[in-house]
Amino acid sequence: MEHVIEMLGIRKEFGNFVANNNITLQLKKGEIHALLGENGAGKSTLMNVLFGLYQPEGGEIRVRGKAVKITNPNVANDLGIGMVHQHFMLVENFTVTENIILGSEPTKMGVINIKNAAKKVQALSEKYGLDVDPYAKIEDITVGMQQRVEILKTLYRGAEILIFDEPTASLTPQEITELIQIMRRLIAEGKSIILITHKLKEIMEVSDRVTIIRKGEGIGTVITAETNPNQLAEMMVGRQVEFKTEKTEAKPTDEVLTIEKLVVTDYRNIDKVKGLNLKVRKGEIVGIAGIDGNGQSELIEAITGLRKVKSGHVKLNGTDITNMKPRKITEEGVGHIPQDRHKHGLVLDFPIGHNIALQTYYQSPIAKGFVMDYKKVSEKARQIIKEYDVRTGNGEMTPARALSGGNQQKAIIGREIDRNPDLLIAALPTRGLDVGAIEFIHSRLIEQRDKGKAVLLISFELDEVMNVSDRIAVIYDGQIVDELNPKETTEQELGLLMAGQSSKNNMNDAKEGND
């Protein structure tokens, strides 16, 4: 069969770092070709090379058999290559149409012909079943619709080859189902698709072939129908991967965290947590399963004091900590691994050692009155770097920015656990990390549980919640709609609950959360 795209022996360097080394990917016409690799394996780099955002140092790109040089996105567009970016490339205060036509605007006597453009957008959206409102502003529409706008951008430019970069990362299960249908429709219309992902399930469901890369190296291409998730995982990671995390039965005892009828608003003053109840006991890991945006962030911020509680109570070991200052709550015995380690977890421009002092810099022995003893900071940092196997270039004085994501996260976890908190909150602790780091972090969470601590885990990844938790609380629309035993539930059941569908055994509770 004809190859529409051939990337042969591509090499891309950033300074001394080789992001892509001798990678080959061949896309056949009319196929969905998955590009699989861990975070940081070089998938996005390879696709940015194809899209003209980066220039490769070696190798050749052929489009429909012809060798080409793709020097910028315009060239890619002209060759019929379009990219649906993971982080949407949309101007927030522009309308859908304005975003779509940007760069190739239809004009009438020098003036943008917005009506014509909107009509064309409407026609395209009907042809491919991509429901959008041409005149809506991006900031007012859902994530799902924003993604459809991204797809329309490529189709508007006549793309025949579409690159989807981690398209399901921020979608709800329904939106994912819809997206898969859209992709199939695109194929039916004669398009070809490259799907970048690290999710094996999606690959098995939708792709025809898979090319695997690992640490910048091309590993090989296999036909999806002839492989299985275990083999793919092994190719991706380079060794056998345990899908199940080893752990003993939990022996929960006293309640540590008690949340009663909690109501929290977001920055626009809209209720995001709506009368939520939850308990976490010593010696157990409670996993909060849910889709992004159902109140998880607000819940964590309310527990840790970063956001005001509107009503209801948060108790820690029986003490009411509702609306206490964040520092007071930390001192009461809460450790917090924040969901965005770059935004909240670290001061990236500080040395990693100074970051390790972030919660304790004002306490003895680091502080003596208002004077700070940086020698003590270094001592503590070296201890944690050693205990948590944080790989740094230059010891504790390495800038936090220079560490890999996994090592940054290990430092944060070390900092939080070292304070010996009764409750450890871990929000998306493994987001964007490779399998090695993920295993390390999971084992540390379980270790805390075994020491009799309470652990609250928030994750968008069903696998993680199912594997690590002892009890799963499903959050939907600001409420815990059900609590389940991970051993007795299935992903299907969880998925339905997360989407607001009531499960068989408690129809009544969840009804009101369903809109």
Partner 1 sequence: MSNRVINILVPIISIIIGLIVGAIVMVVSGYDPVQGYSALWTGIFGDSYSIGNTIRQITPYILAGLAVAFAFRTGLFNIGVEGQLILGWLAAAWVGYAFELPKIIHLPLALLAAAAAGALWAFIAGFLKAKFKVHEVIATIMLNYTALYIANAVIKKLSDGSFKTERIHDSASLRSPFLRELTDNSSLHYGIIVALLMVVVMWFILEKTTRGYELKAVGFNKHAADYAGMNVNKNIILAMTISGMFAGLGGAMEALGTFGNASIKAGFTGIGFDGIAVALLGANTPLGVVFGASLFGSLKYGALNMPNAAGIPEEIVSIIIALIIFFVASGYIIRVALQKLSKKKEGQ
Partner 2 sequence: MSFLEMLYFIIPSAILYATPLIFTAIGGVFSERSGVVNIGLEGLMIVGAFVGIYVNLEYASTFGTATVWVAMLAAVIVGGIFSLLHAVASISFRADQTVSGVAINLLGLAVSVFLVKMIYDKGQTDMITRSIDRFGIPYLQDIPFFGPLLFRDVYSTSILAFAVAIGAWFIIYKTPFGLRLRAVGEHPMAADTMGVNVNRMRYIAVVISGALGGLGGAVYAQSITLNFSHATIAGQGFMAIAAMIFGKWHPIGALGAALFFGVAQTLSIAGSGIPYIQDIPAVYLQILPYVLTIFALAGFIGKASAPKASGQPYIKGKR
Q: Which are the contacts of 335, defined by CB distance < 8 A and separation ≥ 6? A: 416, 417, 419, 421, 423, 424, 425
Numbers of helices and strands, H then E, in the chain:
17, 24
Give yes or no for a contact between 120 and 65, defined as CB atoms under 8 angstroms apart.
Answer: no
Shortest approach of partner 2 to residue 432 CB, angstroms?
12
Site for partner 1 in 253-312 (CB under 8 A): 304-306
Span from 77-85, 175-183, 305-313, 386-394 in contact with partner 2 (CB under 8 A)? 77-85
By C-beta, is 282 or 354 nearer to partner 1?
A: 354
* Count of CB atoms situated within 10 Å of the CB of 328: 11
Which residue from 175, 232, 225 is spatially nearest to 32, judged by alpha carbons?
225
- Asked if residue 349 binds partner 1 (CB under 8 A), the reply is yes
Q: Does 402 bind partner 1 (CB under 8 A)?
A: no
Q: Site for partner 1 (CB under 8 A): which residue of 330, 392, 398, 479?
A: 330
Q: Is 90 in the site for partner 2 (CB under 8 A)?
A: yes
Q: Rounded to an integer, what distance in angstroms lies between the CA atom of residue 329 and that of residue 253?
A: 22
Phi and psi, residue 6, nearest 5°: -130, 120
Q: If contact means CB under 5 to 8 A according to the sort of partner, which of partner 2, partner 1, none does residue 40 touch?
A: none
CB of 77 to partner 2, least distance (A): 6
Among 110, 190, 318, 369, binds partner 2 (CB under 8 A): 110
Does 71 participate in binding partner 2 (rule CB under 8 A)?
no
Closest listed residue to residue 54, CA positions, set 18, 104, 102, 2: 18
Q: How far apart are CA 366 and CA 375, in angstroms?
A: 8
ω into 229 cis (within 30 of 0) = no
Cβ proximity to partner 1, 55 vs 514, nearer residue: 55
The pair of three-digit structure tokens given for residue 265, joined into one six-digit string: 């608003």
| CA 363/CA 52 separation, integer angstroms | 52
When asked if residue 354 is in the footprint of partner 1 (CB under 8 A), the reply is yes
149-178 residues near partner 2, rule: CB under 8 A: 153
Residue 362 found at the interface with partner 1 (CB under 8 A) = yes
Residue 344 interacts with partner 1 (CB under 8 A): yes or no: yes
Is the previous residue joined to 365 through a cis bond, with omega within 30 degrees of 0?
A: yes
Distance CA 262, CA 259 (A): 7
Q: Minimum distance from CB of 112 to partner 2 (Å)? A: 6
> Does 102 participate in binding partner 2 (rule CB under 8 A)?
yes
Site residues, partner 2 (CB under 8 A): 48, 51, 53-54, 72-74, 77, 83, 85, 87, 89-94, 98-99, 101-105, 107, 110-112, 153
Site residues, partner 1 (CB under 8 A): 304-306, 325-328, 330, 336, 338, 343-350, 354, 357-359, 361-362, 367, 370-372
